[in-house]
Amino acid sequence: MDYTQLFQFSGRRVLVIGAGSGIGRESALALHAHGATVICADRDAPSAAATAAQLGAGASALQLDVLNQEAVRAVARDLTDLAALVFTAATNVRKRIADYTLDEFDRVVNLNLRAAFVLIQAFAPTMAANGGGSIIGFASIRAVTVEPGQGVYAATKAGLVQLLRTAAAEYGPAGVRVNAISPGVVETPLTAQIKNDPEWYNAYAAKSALGRWSTPSELAGAVVYLASDASRFVTGSVLTVDGGWTAVDGRFDPPNA
Protein backbone atom coordinates (compact mmCIF):
# COMPACT_ATOMS: atom_id res chain seq x y z
CA MET A 1 0.00 0.00 0.00
CA ASP A 2 1.39 3.38 -1.05
CA TYR A 3 0.10 5.62 1.73
CA THR A 4 1.33 8.75 -0.02
CA GLN A 5 -1.54 8.29 -2.47
CA LEU A 6 -4.39 8.10 0.08
CA PHE A 7 -5.52 11.68 -0.54
CA GLN A 8 -4.63 11.99 -4.20
CA PHE A 9 -7.34 12.53 -6.82
CA SER A 10 -5.32 12.78 -10.01
CA GLY A 11 -7.48 11.78 -12.97
CA ARG A 12 -10.69 11.75 -10.93
CA ARG A 13 -13.71 13.96 -11.49
CA VAL A 14 -15.72 15.26 -8.55
CA LEU A 15 -19.02 17.14 -8.59
CA VAL A 16 -19.57 19.65 -5.77
CA ILE A 17 -23.13 20.96 -5.54
CA GLY A 18 -23.35 24.21 -3.61
CA ALA A 19 -19.85 25.19 -4.72
CA GLY A 20 -20.79 28.83 -5.17
CA SER A 21 -20.23 29.74 -1.52
CA GLY A 22 -19.53 28.57 2.01
CA ILE A 23 -18.72 24.94 2.71
CA GLY A 24 -19.27 23.95 -0.90
CA ARG A 25 -16.73 26.43 -2.18
CA GLU A 26 -14.13 25.39 0.37
CA SER A 27 -14.77 21.73 -0.44
CA ALA A 28 -14.16 22.44 -4.12
CA LEU A 29 -10.93 24.28 -3.31
CA ALA A 30 -9.67 21.46 -1.10
CA LEU A 31 -10.47 18.70 -3.59
CA HIS A 32 -8.83 20.66 -6.39
CA ALA A 33 -5.73 21.13 -4.23
CA HIS A 34 -5.44 17.35 -4.01
CA GLY A 35 -5.58 16.90 -7.75
CA ALA A 36 -9.27 16.38 -8.45
CA THR A 37 -10.95 17.69 -11.57
CA VAL A 38 -13.77 19.61 -9.91
CA ILE A 39 -17.13 20.47 -11.43
CA CYS A 40 -18.59 23.39 -9.49
CA ALA A 41 -22.37 23.38 -9.47
CA ASP A 42 -24.73 25.87 -7.89
CA ARG A 43 -28.17 27.33 -8.43
CA ASP A 44 -26.40 30.68 -8.79
CA ALA A 45 -24.46 30.32 -12.04
CA PRO A 46 -22.14 33.34 -11.53
CA SER A 47 -21.10 32.04 -8.10
CA ALA A 48 -20.31 28.62 -9.52
CA ALA A 49 -18.31 30.24 -12.30
CA ALA A 50 -16.40 32.36 -9.79
CA THR A 51 -15.37 29.29 -7.82
CA ALA A 52 -14.31 27.46 -10.97
CA ALA A 53 -12.27 30.50 -12.03
CA GLN A 54 -10.60 30.53 -8.62
CA LEU A 55 -9.64 26.88 -9.05
CA GLY A 56 -8.20 27.49 -12.49
CA ALA A 57 -7.16 24.92 -15.07
CA GLY A 58 -9.31 21.82 -15.29
CA ALA A 59 -12.22 23.13 -13.23
CA SER A 60 -15.61 23.82 -14.75
CA ALA A 61 -18.94 25.28 -13.67
CA LEU A 62 -22.57 24.50 -14.26
CA GLN A 63 -25.88 25.92 -13.13
CA LEU A 64 -28.01 23.40 -11.28
CA ASP A 65 -31.18 23.76 -9.27
CA VAL A 66 -31.45 20.61 -7.15
CA LEU A 67 -35.18 21.21 -6.77
CA ASN A 68 -35.54 20.47 -10.49
CA GLN A 69 -35.56 16.70 -10.79
CA GLU A 70 -35.24 16.64 -14.57
CA ALA A 71 -32.25 19.00 -14.45
CA VAL A 72 -30.55 16.76 -11.89
CA ARG A 73 -31.21 13.67 -14.00
CA ALA A 74 -29.83 15.39 -17.09
CA VAL A 75 -26.58 16.26 -15.30
CA ALA A 76 -26.30 12.70 -13.98
CA ARG A 77 -26.68 11.36 -17.53
CA ASP A 78 -23.84 13.62 -18.70
CA LEU A 79 -21.46 12.93 -15.80
CA THR A 80 -21.07 9.19 -15.91
CA ASP A 81 -17.50 8.97 -14.60
CA LEU A 82 -17.68 10.72 -11.24
CA ALA A 83 -15.44 9.54 -8.42
CA ALA A 84 -17.37 11.55 -5.86
CA LEU A 85 -20.49 13.65 -5.37
CA VAL A 86 -20.63 16.27 -2.62
CA PHE A 87 -23.80 18.22 -1.90
CA THR A 88 -24.17 21.00 0.65
CA ALA A 89 -27.34 22.90 -0.26
CA ALA A 90 -29.70 23.49 2.68
CA THR A 91 -32.06 26.03 4.16
CA ASN A 92 -33.66 26.76 7.52
CA VAL A 93 -36.64 28.69 8.83
CA ARG A 94 -36.14 29.21 12.55
CA LYS A 95 -39.63 29.21 13.98
CA ARG A 96 -41.43 27.26 16.66
CA ILE A 97 -43.69 24.50 15.40
CA ALA A 98 -46.92 26.38 16.10
CA ASP A 99 -45.71 29.36 14.03
CA TYR A 100 -44.68 27.40 10.93
CA THR A 101 -46.66 27.66 7.72
CA LEU A 102 -46.96 24.66 5.43
CA ASP A 103 -45.21 26.64 2.71
CA GLU A 104 -42.23 27.11 5.01
CA PHE A 105 -42.36 23.43 5.96
CA ASP A 106 -42.32 22.41 2.31
CA ARG A 107 -39.48 24.80 1.50
CA VAL A 108 -37.20 23.30 4.16
CA VAL A 109 -38.16 19.69 3.51
CA ASN A 110 -37.86 20.02 -0.27
CA LEU A 111 -34.33 21.42 -0.26
CA ASN A 112 -32.90 19.55 2.72
CA LEU A 113 -34.42 16.11 2.15
CA ARG A 114 -36.29 15.74 -1.13
CA ALA A 115 -33.40 17.18 -3.16
CA ALA A 116 -30.97 14.79 -1.46
CA PHE A 117 -33.23 11.89 -2.42
CA VAL A 118 -33.32 13.09 -6.03
CA LEU A 119 -29.52 13.41 -6.15
CA ILE A 120 -28.92 9.94 -4.72
CA GLN A 121 -31.52 8.42 -7.02
CA ALA A 122 -29.90 10.07 -10.04
CA PHE A 123 -26.20 9.54 -9.34
CA ALA A 124 -25.85 6.38 -7.25
CA PRO A 125 -26.93 3.90 -9.95
CA THR A 126 -24.41 5.29 -12.43
CA MET A 127 -21.63 5.14 -9.85
CA ALA A 128 -22.64 1.56 -9.10
CA ALA A 129 -22.52 0.66 -12.79
CA ASN A 130 -19.02 2.15 -13.03
CA GLY A 131 -17.64 0.17 -10.11
CA GLY A 132 -18.10 2.60 -7.25
CA GLY A 133 -17.64 6.10 -5.93
CA SER A 134 -18.30 8.28 -2.91
CA ILE A 135 -21.42 10.29 -2.08
CA ILE A 136 -21.19 12.85 0.71
CA GLY A 137 -24.14 14.78 2.11
CA PHE A 138 -24.20 17.41 4.83
CA ALA A 139 -26.35 16.70 7.85
CA SER A 140 -26.06 18.70 11.09
CA ILE A 141 -25.71 18.30 14.83
CA ARG A 142 -29.44 19.14 14.77
CA ALA A 143 -30.01 15.58 13.61
CA VAL A 144 -29.30 14.50 17.19
CA THR A 145 -29.63 17.57 19.41
CA VAL A 146 -32.26 20.28 19.09
CA GLU A 147 -33.48 23.56 20.52
CA PRO A 148 -36.77 25.48 20.22
CA GLY A 149 -37.31 26.74 16.70
CA GLN A 150 -35.31 24.01 14.96
CA GLY A 151 -37.99 21.33 14.59
CA VAL A 152 -38.37 21.09 10.82
CA TYR A 153 -34.69 21.63 10.06
CA ALA A 154 -33.73 19.00 12.65
CA ALA A 155 -36.25 16.55 11.24
CA THR A 156 -34.86 16.93 7.72
CA LYS A 157 -31.30 16.42 8.90
CA ALA A 158 -32.20 13.33 10.90
CA GLY A 159 -34.06 12.05 7.85
CA LEU A 160 -31.06 12.79 5.64
CA VAL A 161 -28.80 10.72 7.87
CA GLN A 162 -31.09 7.72 7.58
CA LEU A 163 -31.52 8.24 3.84
CA LEU A 164 -27.74 8.25 3.37
CA ARG A 165 -27.35 5.16 5.54
CA THR A 166 -29.97 3.34 3.51
CA ALA A 167 -28.22 4.31 0.29
CA ALA A 168 -24.98 2.98 1.79
CA ALA A 169 -26.71 -0.35 2.41
CA GLU A 170 -28.28 -0.53 -1.03
CA TYR A 171 -25.26 0.52 -3.09
CA GLY A 172 -22.42 -0.77 -0.92
CA PRO A 173 -22.20 -4.13 -2.74
CA ALA A 174 -21.51 -2.20 -5.95
CA GLY A 175 -18.68 -0.21 -4.35
CA VAL A 176 -20.55 3.04 -3.73
CA ARG A 177 -19.81 4.57 -0.34
CA VAL A 178 -22.35 6.98 1.13
CA ASN A 179 -21.61 9.10 4.21
CA ALA A 180 -22.78 12.19 6.06
CA ILE A 181 -20.80 15.04 7.54
CA SER A 182 -22.41 16.60 10.60
CA PRO A 183 -21.17 20.15 11.26
CA GLY A 184 -21.77 22.21 14.35
CA VAL A 185 -22.21 25.96 14.02
CA VAL A 186 -20.46 27.30 10.93
CA GLU A 187 -20.13 30.89 9.79
CA THR A 188 -22.11 30.73 6.55
CA PRO A 189 -25.00 32.74 5.04
CA LEU A 190 -27.38 30.17 6.58
CA THR A 191 -26.39 31.30 10.09
CA ALA A 192 -26.50 35.05 9.43
CA GLN A 193 -29.54 35.48 11.69
CA ILE A 194 -27.56 34.11 14.63
CA LYS A 195 -24.34 35.94 13.84
CA ASN A 196 -26.22 39.24 13.86
CA ASP A 197 -27.33 38.69 17.46
CA PRO A 198 -24.25 38.96 19.76
CA GLU A 199 -25.90 37.18 22.68
CA TRP A 200 -27.04 34.31 20.48
CA TYR A 201 -23.69 34.14 18.68
CA ASN A 202 -21.69 34.04 21.92
CA ALA A 203 -23.97 31.42 23.46
CA TYR A 204 -23.34 29.12 20.51
CA ALA A 205 -19.60 29.75 20.67
CA ALA A 206 -19.51 28.84 24.35
CA LYS A 207 -21.37 25.57 23.77
CA SER A 208 -18.57 23.76 21.97
CA ALA A 209 -15.49 22.35 23.66
CA LEU A 210 -13.32 24.63 21.53
CA GLY A 211 -15.31 27.71 22.54
CA ARG A 212 -15.89 29.10 19.06
CA TRP A 213 -17.69 28.72 15.77
CA SER A 214 -16.08 26.96 12.83
CA THR A 215 -15.29 28.39 9.43
CA PRO A 216 -16.30 26.66 6.19
CA SER A 217 -12.67 25.77 5.51
CA GLU A 218 -12.64 23.60 8.63
CA LEU A 219 -15.17 21.24 7.02
CA ALA A 220 -13.11 20.75 3.87
CA GLY A 221 -10.77 18.17 5.39
CA ALA A 222 -13.70 15.91 6.23
CA VAL A 223 -14.87 16.14 2.62
CA VAL A 224 -11.44 15.25 1.24
CA TYR A 225 -11.20 12.31 3.62
CA LEU A 226 -14.59 10.82 2.76
CA ALA A 227 -14.06 11.32 -0.97
CA SER A 228 -10.57 9.80 -0.92
CA ASP A 229 -9.04 6.34 -0.75
CA ALA A 230 -8.22 7.04 2.90
CA SER A 231 -11.85 6.15 3.70
CA ARG A 232 -12.21 3.12 1.42
CA PHE A 233 -13.87 1.08 4.20
CA VAL A 234 -16.05 3.91 5.55
CA THR A 235 -19.69 3.96 4.55
CA GLY A 236 -23.00 4.53 6.27
CA SER A 237 -21.19 6.74 8.76
CA VAL A 238 -21.72 10.21 10.20
CA LEU A 239 -18.51 12.18 10.58
CA THR A 240 -19.17 14.83 13.23
CA VAL A 241 -17.20 18.05 12.89
CA ASP A 242 -18.68 20.18 15.65
CA GLY A 243 -15.83 21.34 17.88
CA GLY A 244 -17.08 19.02 20.61
CA TRP A 245 -20.61 20.45 20.76
CA THR A 246 -22.35 17.08 21.03
CA ALA A 247 -19.73 15.76 23.47
CA VAL A 248 -20.07 18.50 26.08
CA ASP A 249 -23.03 18.98 28.41
CA GLY A 250 -22.26 22.68 28.71
CA ARG A 251 -24.93 23.71 31.19
CA PHE A 252 -22.59 24.18 34.14
CA ASP A 253 -18.83 24.23 34.61
CA PRO A 254 -18.24 22.87 38.12
CA PRO A 255 -15.54 24.46 40.29
CA ASN A 256 -12.35 22.53 40.89
CA ALA A 257 -12.63 20.04 43.75
Nearest by Cα to 111 from 159, 178, 46, 47: 159
109 neighbors 40 (Cβ within 8 angstroms): no
* DSSP assignment letter at 142: G
pLDDT tens for the chain, 257 residues long, are 899 999 999 999 999 999 999 999 999 999 999 999 999 999 999 999 999 999 998 999 999 999 999 999 999 999 999 999 999 999 999 999 999 999 999 999 999 999 999 999 999 999 999 999 999 999 999 999 999 999 999 999 999 999 999 999 999 999 999 999 999 999 887 777 788 888 888 888 888 999 999 999 999 999 999 999 999 999 999 999 999 999 987 666 777 75
* DSSP assignment letter at 186: B
SS3 243: coil
Cβ contacts of 16 within 8 Å, gap of 6 or more: 24, 27, 28, 31, 38, 39, 40, 41, 86, 87, 88
How far apart CA 247 and CA 210 sit, in angstroms, is 11
Nearest by Cα to 79 from 9, 137, 130, 18: 130
Q: What is the pLDDT of residue 200?
A: 87
Cβ contacts of 106 within 8 Å, gap of 6 or more: none
Residues forming the active site: 153
Query: What are the residues facing 135 on neighbouring strands?
Result: 85, 178
5 neighbors 229 (Cβ within 8 angstroms): yes
Q: What is the pLDDT of residue 23?
A: 96
CATH class of the 9-186+215-241 domain in this structure: alpha beta
Q: What residue spans of 130-247 are helical by DSSP H? A: 151-171, 192-195, 198-207, 217-227
